[in-house]
Chains A and B, each alone.
Chain A
Amino acid sequence: MEQEPVPGVRNLHPAYCSLLVKFEAFEWRHEELERQLRKYIGRLSKVKLAEPRLMEIPVCYGGEFGPDLGEVAAMHGLTPNRVIELHASATYLVYFLGFVPGFAYLGELPAELVTPRLLSPRRKVPAGSVGIAGNQTGVYPFETPGGWRLLGRSPLEMFRTNRDGLSLLSIGDRVRFVPVSRERFAELRPA
């Protein structure tokens, strides 16, 4: 739909297994647009997608940056180092961006790390925090409330207004997390 836009469609919200289509009610009746969109679905297999990019995201794990690392390790009977190793071992797919600008939903976590979200969300999660929830992982682009369990923090800006494409990650990207030291974190942090 980005390649062949439908007139009167004003916004798209892709997610794991759905696409929310926001349309102009003056131009379309619900059922008319649905008919049109079903034609697109019929051609899904013929759509050429861009080659996926492999993006590396440095993360400083544990300590004040990853306040839930110890608890997650304890919940699974693992050492914190093993949790880091597992989290950094997988190549994740960017399923979609949602919640706030530039928040990429990444999956899937190694089975050993699948962990429910916090019972009560934090009021403030610092920007750059790397969290896990269920079989997903992600990086908070802004300081926001959040219920994911925090393992570490990335020095990268996930969303900024002066970058081409704005968001560091796009749908379809492959992502790996690379453990870095506190010193390296400080060096990589934008001034």
Chain B
Amino acid sequence: MTVIEVLAPGLLTTVQDLGREGFGPLGVSPSGAADPIALRIGNRLVGNAEGAAALEMTLLGGVFRFPKGALAALTGSDFGATLDGADLPPWTSFKVNPGQTLRLGPTRSGARCYLCTQGGIAVKPFLGSASTHLLSGLGGYEGRALRKGDVLKMGDSGIPNCPPYSSRALSANRSKKVTPKILERLLPRKILRVTAGPQSGWFSQAAEKVLYGGTYHVSEEANRMGLRLHGPPLPEGAHGAMISEGVSLGAVQIAAGGMPIILFVEQQTTGGYAKMANVISADFSSLGQLRPRDLIRFECVAFETARKLLMEQETLLTSKDLIVETT
């Protein structure tokens, strides 16, 4: 069995795939990768099904030893990775020889970096997904972030079309990288596109001017559950408590004090704050790369525009030209 030894876990490293959708009636939020674009591309680089489980690192990466080697790729933000001391380019697959050590450091760009390995990370699926949900301690590796000394199994992720890792497959694999011109168009944005939220009608035009005219910064309270923002407060009025209802990923809730909170992948499934806007699906991955103190703005678009942007993104993500072999 091929394994990854965790020599240092980094700040917050969890097993994630594309999440478990469909269990809202039980109060289970989908969880899953904070930057699904990075996860999907990383998996393609190592020949996995794009939803295979991988390691999601946050702000500071870990140190990992591969006793039996691996085919791996790092995607998302640049955490200054080295393999036995040699620099590794991001968005490119690489071969790890048995006994080599992969070392990641503090981020040089956004919040999250993904380590994808051929065969995926093997954990017992919970409700059909390997994703960790930290708040409830479910899924992933023992329902928690990785610790020093953990040993992760690879190669039996239980995902269809995800070949088990083998040295033979490895030698047949040439290094692959992402076409820069396409990648450019998939990178995270700081101007987040939103559609109107379920309670947008509760807010005045003055409030709209504040939300769409102002610059907000991401506070230190930004995690997989949500991102609390600081910036111009929305005028008093409709914000405050209401009857609890379902809340969607990317909802822009206006809490007491008039400050927005963006709900994220480990969000609670229901809540009682007014939702003035909702980040569009095409910009979910951008949320996953936001760091505390990053500056962001909101731009309101129509539902139809949001749908068009998602489809354009999907076309890029599934295009044959996205990934090319390197020599």
Residues of A within 8 A of B (CB): 2, 10-20, 22, 25-26, 29-30, 96-103, 105, 141-142, 144, 159, 161, 166-167, 171
Contacts and interface: CB of A to CB of B under 8 A. Distances in A.
B314 interface: yes
A171 B25 contact: yes
9 contacts: A11-B23, A13-B24, A15-B246, A20-B248, A25-B311, A26-B310, A98-B270, A100-B27, A161-B126
Given A20-B247, A142-B137, A11 B268 contact: no
Given A103-B27, A159-B26, 11 more contacts: A11-B23, A12-B25, A14-B25, A15-B244, A22-B24, A97-B25, A98-B246, A99-B270, A102-B26, A141-B136, A161-B126
Contacts of B311: 25-26
A22 B136 CA distance: 22
B190 interface: no
Contacts of A16: 243-245
Nearest to A143: B137
A98 B269 contact: yes
B26 A14 contact: no
A163 to B, nearest CB: 11
A12 B24 contact: yes
B303 A101 contact: no
Contacts of A25: 281, 306-307, 310-311
A13 B269 contact: yes
A142 B271 CA distance: 17
A22 B248 CA distance: 8
Contacts of B137: 142
B22 interface: yes
Contacts of B269: 13, 97-100
A96 B270 contact: yes
A99 B245 CA distance: 10
A11 B24 contact: yes
B28 interface: yes
Contacts of A18: 243, 245-246
B244 A20 contact: no
Interface string B254-272: 0000000000000011110
Interface string B279-312: 0010000000000000000000001101100110
B26 A166 contact: yes
Nearest to A21: B246
Q: How large, as a class, is the contact surface on chain B?
A: 20 to 34
Interface of B: 21-28, 30, 126-127, 133, 135-138, 243-248, 268-271, 281, 303-304, 306-307, 310-311, 314
A99 B22 contact: no
Contacts, number: 105
Given A22-B21, A100-B268, A166-B26, A13 B136 contact: no
A105 B272 CA distance: 13
B136 A15 contact: no
Given A19-B246, A22-B248, A100-B135, A11 B21 contact: yes
A13 to B, nearest CB: 3
B136 A100 contact: yes
Contact of A11 (B30, B135, B281, B304): B30
A171 to B, nearest CB: 7
B200 to A, nearest CB: 14
Contacts of A19: 246
Nearest to B309: A25
B290 to A, nearest CB: 22
Q: Which among B137, B247, B269 has the highest number of chain A CB atoms within 10 Å?
A: B269
A6 to B, nearest CB: 13
Contacts of A96: 25, 270
A105 B244 contact: yes
B270 A15 contact: yes
Contacts of B270: 13, 15, 96, 98-99, 105
Nearest to A95: B244
Contact of A14 (B126, B127, B246): B246
A20 B198 CA distance: 10
A85 B56 CA distance: 49
Contacts of A11: 21-24, 30
The 5 closest A-B pairs by CB, nearest first: A13-B246, A20-B246, A98-B270, A97-B27, A13-B24
A33 B133 CA distance: 30
A12 B26 CA distance: 10
A10 B26 CA distance: 14
Q: Which among A97, A98, A103 has the highest number of chain B CB atoms within 10 Å?
A: A98
Contacts of A14: 24-25, 246
Nearest to B137: A142
